[in-house]
Structure 1
């Protein structure tokens, strides 16, 4: 059964992909897996960003089941399942708190982040998932036609929850750092940002250039944030070995 959203504003618009659009012109259908089937109505396929959108769609569709499933898995791995369950309610959004999901490769950072995105959508809250490298790529593409970053900053500042996956996995230059500083400043104390990272916050300062902007970004992102450490167990590798 499809549920129409009426005048509810866009809940999820994944990386410009027409496949993942939910608004007053769309509808969603909850599935038993906890995922959503999103239907497109009345939108033209965008001319750019299709590759970025395809990656985001694939990640969200293949990840992020019910938070209860992850809660049980976390307990078996010795992770603080209670903290994960509390984060899964998305109550941190009420105080515009951030979430930092730390862990080595294959520990389920992206999966957990997608759980939070889908829960936010069930609550009809504006949500967005994107990899940091893809966000910077989208900014570079818009730079060819836009004189400033104002448009893309406004776009990503408005989401009530924004997941930045692969946070600082790749090196960033001075232009990237200035862009991220402006985005974080606009979202600070107003919207929740979820960061998936292999680096501890103590390492962010150096990877962000080590300057005044790095100080400001780390302080704004970490202050009052919910921190979830998923450890070093490569779940992806374990599941592959069982097949």
Structure 2
């Protein structure tokens, strides 16, 4: 819809390419649609200083915001001259369009500005310490070369706990299946909620136990 008048926070905005005068034709309405106006109204508020819930109008022009219309082509059949006939529109050389019509608004905030205060970074904040990963007995990060392993040797644990969990899953699956069968016989099918837990029970027996997730104290 072409725009004929522009207001920001209730005030007409000059020098935007939208004249705040003139009219637009609504061709399908015939003579009644001739000379119509289209008002584009934009409201921009900001928080009042020192508050968290009180808003006030923000003057974008005084704060160097850029305001410019968005222009495009609109259908001549909708916004062409109201007295124009279909044949006139068809014989026009503008491809059935009314060109360069303001249809919206682009508002751009100003770019950042330096406040004049330099950013100070002191040398001690950038200081570094040499890190020796081998050959230094005082190194506290990694063991030096050929350090003997300490602590108990890693080993693969038993399967008792995993076996118990797998058995419980299979038992739960069987009980759930029995309940589902009764409900289905009563006319309340729940087949989609009775997925077989057998594959999960089988996976639990080997979950997180395959090499190389298990290493000994030497890291081999």
Tell me the TM-score normalized by structure 1.
Answer: 0.19
RCO greater where, 1 or 2, for CA within 8 Å and sep 6 or more? 1
Tell me the TM-score normalized by structure 2.
Answer: 0.20
Which structure has the highest helix share of the two? Answer: 1
